[in-house]
């Protein structure tokens, strides 16, 4: 056992924190999420092996064309019930052969994917420098921002940030919590075959902005950076560690996870990361005997029933407008009576302006809005939902490739930068 495996040894529990009620809310959803995710993954593998999806569509066209980008709608049986679903399969070149034999590259790729990939899935992109004495546009008073030529202050971090939180031991069934100093140092995924029954991670999707135009008017859009806590569960059913799996292939190595939805969250979005009823993600790498490596990513989840959920209360909306105009003074002045007024006012909970507009537009036009104005949930599922998902994972692999090429030998722990071993972005 090397030093990184020893540090992650769950038997070393001296500094482990006790499980809180918030922890237990997440843990209670793991078995359900894994059971649903495995059923959907088995369905998807059967479809990939011998059939076509009920409805397929091309999602993107690029100059540097991917080997395959297939979006689809279909229906599976989940726990004995029909489950309408949407999915995406991306296949693309990862890298050509390095200056080493193909079998040597295979062992390096195996180590990179199963040991380090989830530690290096976030990266820093180039960003404009805003000097110490220089304003950014966000520092300028809001009424003057349209006139400002100051640069935008942007977050250069991209990709996915994985943090391991909980685990269940395979032999004893013990459920524990990783201590804080080990959470960025995601376990070697090969350990789900002998030590862990499952591992739960929290995911931060950096710079993931989901934008909707609810009323087909480009002058009014809803855009939100999805920075909420998203939970996933990894088990051995989602991890691949295969040498010589078939003729022409030296190896197939990959990771995947089921999507958790442990509790309702305070967000206006009713669909998206953290809001899926069930689903999974796979990221599988293959290395051919030529030395070239490819990656295939698959995502499957339930189809949306609504896009937004907004609680309509005239008093709440009135205070919102008043606060905007008075810089929050209205709530401070009338705070003692606000709750009482809101409770007395008529309200509509979980109102979705997007699906309401779609239904009304199609009713008034006899379905013409869906055909010619793209007023349909299917259109929104393709863009922005699946398209945003595609771009985030495309960028994830592009960032991973730069890290992969930066280390001359992934089998030599001394050559692996400390930030990579620790799972910390520099």
User: Distance between CA 114 and CA 129 in Å, rounded?
Assistant: 35
DSSP element (H, E) containing 36:
helix 30-50
**Distance, CA of 314 to CA of 309 (rounded, Å):** 16
Q: How far is CA 389 from CA 207, 253, 266, 383, in A?
A: 12, 22, 22, 10
Phi/psi for 77 (5° steps) reads -95, 120
Angstrom distance (rounded) from CA 138 to CA 130: 11
Q: What is the DSSP letter of 309?
A: -
Give the list of residues 6+ apart from residue 6 with CB closer than 8 angstroms, or none: none
Q: DSSP label at 173? A: -
How far apart CA 232 and CA 33 sit, in angstroms, is 8
In degrees and rounded to multiples of 5, residue 208 shows phi and psi of -95, 100
* Beta-bridge partner residues of 298: 89, 282
| 201 φ, ψ (degrees, to nearest 5) | -125, 155
Q: What is the pLDDT of residue 8?
A: 53
Buried b / exposed e over 257-278, threshold 16 CB at 10 Å, is bbbbbbeeeeeebbbbbbbbbb
pLDDT at residue number 220: 47
Q: Using CA atoms, how far apart are residues 264 and 274, in angstroms rounded to an integer?
A: 9
Length in residues, the chain:
426
Q: Name which of 297, 304, 306, 277 is nearest 78 in CA terms.
A: 277
Classify residue 33 as exposed, middle or buried by CB count within 10 Å of its CB (0-12, 13-18, 19+).
Answer: buried
Q: What is the dihedral of CA 129, 134, 139, 142, to 10 degrees?
A: -110
CB 300 within 8 A of CB 280: yes
Q: Please state the pTM of the whole predicted model.
A: 0.79
Q: What are phi and psi of 234, to 5 degrees?
A: -110, 130
Identify the pLDDT of residue 132: 46
Domain layout of the chain by residue ranges: 3-127+156-305+384-422, 314-371
Would you write out the chain's pLDDT as a tens digit for each of its 426 residues?
A: 443 444 455 555 544 568 999 999 999 999 999 999 999 999 999 999 987 899 998 877 655 556 789 999 999 999 999 999 999 999 999 998 766 788 889 999 999 999 999 998 865 544 454 454 455 655 666 656 555 666 565 544 445 789 999 999 999 999 999 999 999 999 999 999 999 999 999 998 755 555 555 544 554 455 555 555 689 999 999 999 999 999 999 999 999 999 998 766 667 776 777 789 999 999 999 999 989 999 999 999 999 888 777 766 555 645 455 555 555 555 565 566 666 655 655 566 777 777 888 888 888 888 888 887 778 888 888 888 888 888 889 999 999 999 999 999 999 999 999 988 888 755
State in Å, rounded, how far the first CA of the chain is from the last one: 27
Sign of CA dihedral 338, 339, 345, 347: positive
Q: Which of 410, 402, 409 is nearest to 426 (CA)?
A: 402
- Looking at residue 289, what DSSP letter applies? T
Q: Specify the pLDDT at position 76.
A: 97
Please tell me the predicted confidence (pLDDT) of residue 329.
59
Query: Are 137 and 278 contacting, i.e. CB atoms less than 8 angstroms apart?
Result: no
* Exposed / middle / buried, residue 366 (Cβ in 10 Å: 0-12, 13-18, 19+): exposed
Alpha carbon distance 176, 82 (integer Å): 35
DSSP state of 119: G
**Residue 302 near residue 276, CB atoms below 8 Å:** yes
């Amino acid at each position: 056992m090397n030093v990184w495996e020893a540090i992650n040894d769950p038997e070393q529990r001296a500094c482990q924190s006790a499980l809180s009620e918030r922890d237990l809310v997440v843990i209670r959803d793991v078995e359900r999420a894994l059971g649903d995710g495995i059923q959907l993954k088995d369905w998807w593998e059967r479809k990939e092996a011998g059939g076509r999806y009920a409805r397929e569509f091309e999602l993107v066209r690029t100059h540097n064309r991917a080997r395959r980008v297939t979006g689809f709608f279909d229906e599976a049986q989940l726990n004995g019930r029909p489950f309408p679903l949407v999915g995406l399969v991306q296949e693309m070149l990862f890298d050509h052969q390095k200056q080493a034999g193909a079998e040597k590259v295979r062992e390096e790729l195996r180590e990179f994917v199963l040991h380090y990939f989830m530690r290096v899935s976030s990266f820093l992109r180039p960003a404009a420098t805003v000097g110490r004495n220089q304003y950014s546009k966000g520092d300028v008073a809001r009424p003057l921002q349209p006139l400002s030529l100051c640069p935008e202050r942007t977050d250069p971090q991209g990709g996915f940030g994985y943090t391991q939180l909980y685990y269940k031991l395979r032999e004893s069934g013990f459920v524990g919590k990783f201590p804080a100093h080990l959470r960025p140092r995601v376990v070697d995924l090969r350990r789900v075959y002998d030590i862990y029954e499952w591992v739960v991670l929290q995911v931060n999707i950096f710079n993931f902005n989901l934008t909707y135009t609810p009323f087909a008017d480009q002058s009014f859009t809803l855009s939100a950076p999805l920075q909420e806590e998203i939970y996933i569960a990894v088990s051995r059913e989602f991890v691949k560690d295969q040498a010589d799996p078939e003729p022409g292939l030296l190896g197939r190595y990959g990771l995947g996870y089921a999507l958790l939805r442990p509790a309702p969250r305070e967000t206006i979005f009713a669909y998206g990361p953290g809001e899926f009823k069930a689903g999974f993600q796979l990221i599988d790498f293959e290395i051919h005997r030529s030395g070239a490596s490819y990656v295939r990513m698959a995502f499957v989840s339930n189809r949306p029933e609504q896009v937004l959920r907004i609680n309509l209360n005239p008093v709440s909306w009135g205070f919102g407008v008043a606060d905007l105009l008075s810089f929050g003074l209205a709530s401070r002045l009338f705070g003692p009576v606000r709750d009482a007024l809101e409770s007395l006012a008529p309200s509509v909970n979980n109102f979705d302006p997007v699906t309401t507009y779609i239904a009304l537009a199609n009713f008034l036009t006899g379905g013409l809005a869906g055909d010619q104005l793209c007023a349909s949930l299917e259109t929104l599922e393709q863009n922005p939902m699946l398209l945003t998902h595609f771009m985030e994972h495309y960028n994830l692999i592009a960032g991973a490739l730069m890290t992969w090429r930066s280390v001359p030998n992934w089998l030599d722990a001394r050559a692996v930068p400390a930030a990579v071993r620790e799972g910390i972005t520099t």
